């Protein structure tokens, strides 16, 4: 534990070298070379019949499309960024409120956890159509953009606020200050690194969510423009716009990263931070009781919230279903048909998605672990991986379809793509902060490289792998749904599209409920495994 | 002609960092006889830990040669004849005591014999804690396990980098006596890096005092006491005289006067 804390403290601070070293220059040159090489490969592949039947445009075709379409981008990008900004402000503000609430009243945390996890796991592509029906268009889009931020902010801010020197609290108390003074004078400042880290993670993910909000409808928005391009079928134009989206996501991530480096100079990895939280529970009996209470409370809150929301909008109950209405659909005359349709849809994509996530995680583990043998490699590719982690990779799903066809393989590919980068970044940063001495001990015993990996590096990487697995769940589900709706025409995504087409509200509600349940259960299952694994090995 | 023991000839080490070169060690000559016990002592930044890593092939010198029984450090390390322990016990948290001690055997691809591991556990006084995970052990117990792990491969060369540096004074003396017992049981060629003059005098045949910036050998002080050295020795006049002599060397090496000495002795090597 101390080793990890020290590694954090040590690894976090970044000192600015007074003069640029030769190593840094050669690294930059190598990166530039790598980019040039990638562009050259792309140019070679692009426009040739021997790859993907010539469906991949070459860089200069993409460049031409970019220049031709540039004037059209502005209003669409502005509209989505405006939605994203509101969602970002609201989601993070709610996350902060929850963090302060849990700090002042820790008992509230397990009770509302279920609600926050549900928000974090929300399959926004599935709930978007329903929200679009129930709320005014602009409001629905903002709600969708805000949902993913709440949990990240709450977790990161609370964790950072709790890392205060105990003496500091005693000093405020001895000077006559109460809990509120402690909060303002000590905790709030301590929480700053966590706050900024959460902002950095949330900025690109809010953009992604806002893009999916666009699919509800409207005149202007990135998602709307992208849909139009996909319909037009012009590959070079799709590529050009996808790259613009990626650049915006990366720019947001880098800008907030710069802000964080300027203000705090610290580098907390959210995945790591959460792992630490997951590992701190003891006593099996009490833990079970607490988990049960938390589950019951979380479910109740979600159901009550749902009910309250549905009753607050003045829509007929045929459209705005309550939990009871959904239950009636399942148990009523249509029940068996609905269940079999949902079951078939799940069976078609579920296993493929699982395979994709597993492959993505395994690839991240394999690359992250072997990269420790060649630190220069990690240093070389890390900036790219960081940027890719923030890029809305899901937006590239249509491009994958062009290159790899519309078969079910695409589900696997999308989930691999979505899973790999966050997992690779989490594992690499985790391993970079790993204590040095065990490696020296193994080296002293003449351990081969493979033995070193097997005995030390892989077990050391496991907590980060598990944390990453938990955190990519919403993204993976989003990727699958998108691929189903846009490309394969199968699964729950397609079932939802059909239900929206037929205005079949009971079906829409059933699919939504099942999808949310699957997301939350997947999250809780990975988390339970993580806790079990960490407790067992300590 | 192969020579026995450790022989360092004009060894230098310079680190290249983004802020420029840092000269950690400049032209160090040092001999440790076979089955000898040498202590390295010196203020922060004198390169004693670096020197230890060079002997163990955990780092490579930028100048000069290191030989152990006539072989290069790499040959020694590759042959599995090296045991190391650091201030950070660095036990793997997911392995129990037994599995942690077996780690170096597994790492070098050797067979793990359960009875041999349990012998080592008994040797370092951890019997009854075979199944305990590191989180359940005290600091002293973790260091015992780390020591047993270093001994598990039955090394010819034992390198110890402040193995008791994180322990309190009382526990430290207990561990020093334990280490002496273990070493007498089977003497390995041993190099110990330490901040404690008492620890150095209790354990070693000769104390090498190093000076900082860049690291170099300032003086070598032989320790004449016969073994086993009992705890009472620490209260004898001869012991104190020798300690005083070494602390004078240390003060010279640090470039401070005697009043500044305790600070130099307490400071941690980075």
Q: Summarize pLDDT for A39-87 with one digit per residue, the tens.
A: 777 777 766 666 655 667 788 888 888 888 888 889 999 999 999 999 9
- What is the interface pTM, i.e. ipTM, of the complex? 0.78
Mean pLDDT of A435-456: 87
CA angle A377, A381, A386 (to 5 degrees): 140
Closest Cα partner for A458 from A354, A375, A371? Answer: A371
User: Is residue A497 a contact partner of residue A485, using CB atoms and an 8 Å limit?
Assistant: yes
Q: CA of B226 to nearest chain A CA: how many angstroms apart?
A: 31
Output the six-digit token pair for B157: 């060369």
Higher pLDDT, A176 or A14: A176
Type and span of the H or E element at A153: helix A137-162
Query: Where are the domain boundaries for CATH 1.10.3720.10 in chain A?
Result: 51-268, 314-538
Tell the residue number behind the tokens 């005083």, with chain if given.
Answer: B244
Backbone φ and ψ for A46, nearest 5 degrees, come out as -60, 135
Question: Quick check: A445 and B133 CB within 8 A?
Answer: no
Backbone φ and ψ for B13, nearest 5 degrees, come out as -145, 125
Q: Could you tell me what percentage of chain B is helix, strand and coil, using 3-state DSSP and rounding each to the nearest 5?
A: 40, 25, 35
Instruction: Write the secondary structure of A211-272 as one string of H (helix), E (strand) and C (coil).
Output: HHHHCCCCCCCHHHHHHHHHHHCCHHHHHHHHHHHHHHHHHHHHHHHHHHHHHCCCCCCHHH
Cα–Cα separations (whole angstroms), residue A512 to A252, A297, A330: 30, 21, 13
Task: Give the strand pairing for B37-41 and B189-194.
Answer: parallel
Closest Cα partner for B80 from A453, A451, A374, A436? Answer: A451
Q: CA of B138 to nearest chain A CA: how many angstroms apart?
A: 14
How do the pLDDT tens digits run along chain B, 270 residues long?
Answer: 446 889 999 999 988 877 778 888 999 999 998 889 999 998 888 888 899 999 999 889 999 999 998 889 998 888 888 899 998 888 888 889 999 999 888 888 888 888 889 988 988 888 899 899 888 898 889 998 998 998 888 888 999 999 888 788 888 888 899 889 888 887 889 999 998 999 999 999 999 999 888 888 998 999 999 889 998 898 999 999 999 999 999 998 887 544 444 444 444 443
Tell the residue number behind the tokens 């394969």, with chain if given.
Answer: A488
Cβ neighbourhood burial of A459 (10 Å; 0-12, 13-18, 19+): middle
Residue A514: asked if its preceding bond is cis (omega within 30°), the reply is no
Report the residue from B77, B93, B135 with minimal CB separation from A446.
B77
pLDDT of residue A395: 66
User: Is residue A199 a contact partner of residue A148, using CB atoms and an 8 Å limit?
Assistant: no
Q: Taking the CB of residue A107, how many other CB atoms lie within 10 A of it?
A: 7
Per-residue exposure over B93-121, b if at least 16 CB sit within 10 Å of its own CB, e if not: bbbbbbbbbbbbbbbbebeeeeeebeebb
**Chain B residues within an 8 Å CB radius of A457:** none
Residue B3 CA neighbour count, 13 Å, CB half: 11
Maximum Cα interatomic distance, chain B, rounded to a whole number of Å: 54
Give the N- to C-terminal CA distance of chain B in Å, as an integer. 38
Please give the Cα distance from A529 to A467 (Å, whole number).
10
Please give the Cα distance from A90 to A96 (Å, whole number).
10
In three-state secondary structure terms, A511 is helix
Please give the Cα distance from A121 to B80 (Å, whole number).
51
Interface test with A, best of B92, B161, B190 (most A CBs within 10 A): B92
Closest Cα partner for B225 from B206, B245, B248? Answer: B206
pLDDT of residue B209: 93
Backbone φ and ψ for B159, nearest 5 degrees, come out as -115, 120
Please give the Cα distance from A534 to A1 (Å, whole number).
13
pLDDT of residue A335: 85
User: What CATH class has A51-268?
Assistant: mainly alpha
pLDDT of residue B266: 42
Sequence-ordered list of residues with C-beta below 8 angstroms from that of A365, at least 6 positions apart, any chain: A423, A427, A458, A461, A465
Please give the Cα distance from A405 to B58 (Å, whole number).
51
Quick check: A264 pLDDT over 60? yes
CA A132, A137, A141, A146 torsion: positive or negative?
negative
Quick check: A185 pLDDT over 90? no
Please give the Cα distance from A470 to A423 (Å, whole number).
10
Architecture of domain A314-538: Orthogonal Bundle (1.10)
Backbone φ and ψ for A29, nearest 5 degrees, come out as -60, -45
Residues of B with CB under 8 A from a CB of A: 16-20, 53, 56, 58, 77-80, 82-84, 86, 88, 90, 92-94, 103-109, 133, 135, 149-150, 153, 159
User: Is residue A241 a contact partner of residue A283, using CB atoms and an 8 Å limit?
Assistant: no
Q: CA of A453 to nearest chain B CA: how many angstroms apart?
A: 10
Helices of type H across B186-255: 197-203, 237-254
Question: Quick check: A538 and B88 CB within 8 A?
Answer: no
Mean pLDDT of A131-152: 90
pLDDT of residue A394: 64
């Amino acid at each position: 534990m101390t080793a990890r804390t020290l590694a954090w403290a040590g690894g976090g601070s970044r000192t600015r070298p007074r003069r640029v070293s030769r190593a840094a220059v050669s690294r930059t040159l190598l990166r530039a070379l790598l980019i040039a090489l990638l562009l050259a490969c792309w140019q070679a592949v692009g426009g040739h019949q021997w790859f993907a039947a010539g469906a991949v445009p070459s860089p200069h075709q993409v460049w031409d499309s970019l220049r031709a379409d540039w004037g059209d981008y502005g209003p669409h990008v502005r509209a989505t960024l405006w939605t994203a900004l509101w969602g970002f402000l609201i989601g993070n503000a709610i996350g902060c409120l929850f963090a302060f609430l849990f700090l002042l009243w820790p008992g509230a945390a397990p009770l509302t956890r279920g609600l926050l996890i549900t928000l974090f796991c929300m399959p926004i592509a599935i709930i978007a159509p329903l929200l679009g029906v129930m709320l005014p268009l602009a409001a629905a889009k903002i709600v969708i953009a805000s949902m993913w931020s709440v949990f990240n902010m709450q977790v990161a801010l609370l964790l950072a606020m709790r890392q205060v020197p105990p003496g500091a609290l005693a000093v405020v108390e001895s000077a006559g200050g109460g809990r509120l003074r402690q909060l303002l004078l000590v905790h709030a400042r301590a929480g700053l690194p966590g706050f900024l880290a959460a902002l950095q993670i949330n900025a690109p993910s809010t953009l992604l969510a806002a893009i999916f909000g666009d699919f509800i409808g409207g005149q202007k928005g990135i998602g709307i423009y992208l849909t139009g391009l996909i319909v037009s079928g012009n590959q070079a134009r799709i590529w050009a716009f996808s790259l613009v989206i990626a650049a915006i996501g990366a720019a947001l991530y880098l800008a907030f990263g710069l802000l964080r480096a300027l203000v705090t100079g610290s580098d907390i990895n959210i995945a790591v931070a959460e792992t630490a939280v997951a590992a701190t529970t003891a006593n099996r009996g009490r833990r079970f009781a607490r988990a049960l209470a938390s589950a019951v409370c979380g479910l109740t809150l979600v159901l009550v919230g749902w009910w309250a929301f549905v009753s607050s909008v003045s829509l007929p109950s045929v459209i705005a279903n309550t939990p009871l209405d959904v239950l009636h659909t399942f148990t009523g005359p249509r029940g068996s048909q609905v269940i079999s349709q949902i079951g078939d849809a799940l069976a078609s994509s579920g296993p493929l998605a699982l395979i994709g996530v597993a492959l993505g995680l395994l690839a991240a583990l394999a690359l992250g672990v072997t990269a420790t043998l060649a630190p220069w490699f990690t240093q070389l590719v890390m900036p790219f991986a960081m940027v890719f982690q923030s890029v809305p990779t899901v937006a590239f799903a249509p491009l994958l379809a062009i290159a790899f066809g519309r078969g079910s393989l695409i589900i696997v590919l999308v989930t691999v793509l979505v899973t790999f980068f966050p997992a690779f970044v989490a594992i690499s940063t985790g391993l970079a902060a790993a204590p040095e001495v065990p490696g020296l001990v193994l080296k002293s015993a003449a351990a081969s490289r493979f033995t070193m990996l097997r005995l030390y590096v892989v077990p050391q990487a496991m907590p980060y792998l598990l944390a990453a697995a938990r955190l990519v769940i919403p993204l993976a589900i989003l990727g699958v749904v998108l691929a189903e709706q846009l490309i394969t025409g199968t699964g729950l995504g397609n079932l939802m599209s059909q239900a929206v087409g037929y205005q079949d509200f009971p079906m829409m509600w059933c699919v939504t409920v099942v999808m949310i349940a699957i997301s939350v259960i997947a999250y809780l299952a990975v988390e339970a495994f993580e806790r079990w694994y960490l407790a067992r090995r300590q | 002609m192969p020579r026995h023991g450790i022989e360092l000839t004009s060894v230098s080490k310079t680190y290249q960092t983004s802020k420029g070169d840092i000269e950690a060690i400049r032209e160090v000559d040092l001999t440790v006889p076979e089955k000898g016990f040498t202590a390295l002592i010196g203020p922060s930044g004198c390169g004693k830990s670096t020197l230890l890593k060079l002997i163990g092939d955990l780092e490579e010198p930028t100048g000069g040669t290191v030989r152990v029984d006539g072989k290069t450090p790499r040959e020694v390390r590759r042959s599995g004849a090296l045991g190391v322990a650091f201030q950070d016990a660095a036990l793997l948290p997911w392995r129990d005591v037994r599995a942690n001690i077996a780690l170096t055997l597994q790492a070098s691809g050797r067979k793990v014999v359960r009875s041999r591991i349990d012998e080592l556990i008994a040797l370092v006084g951890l019997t009854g804690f075979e199944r305990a995970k590191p989180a359940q052990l005290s600091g002293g117990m973790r260091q015992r396990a780390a020591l047993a792990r270093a001994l598990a491969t039955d090394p010819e060369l034992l390198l110890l980098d402040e193995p008791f540096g994180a322990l309190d004074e009382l526990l430290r003396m207990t561990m020093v006596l334990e280490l002496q017992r273990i070493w007498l049981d089977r003497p390995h060629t041993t190099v110990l890096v330490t901040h404690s003059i008492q620890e150095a005098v209790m354990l070693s045949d000769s104390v090498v005092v190093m000076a900082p910036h860049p690291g170099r050998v300032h003086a070598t002080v032989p320790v004449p006491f016969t073994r086993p050295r009992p705890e009472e020795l620490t209260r004898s006049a001869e012991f104190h005289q020798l300690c005083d002599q070494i602390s004078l060397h240390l003060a010279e090496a640090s470039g401070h006067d005697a009043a500044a000495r305790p600070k130099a002795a307490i400071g941690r090597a980075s």
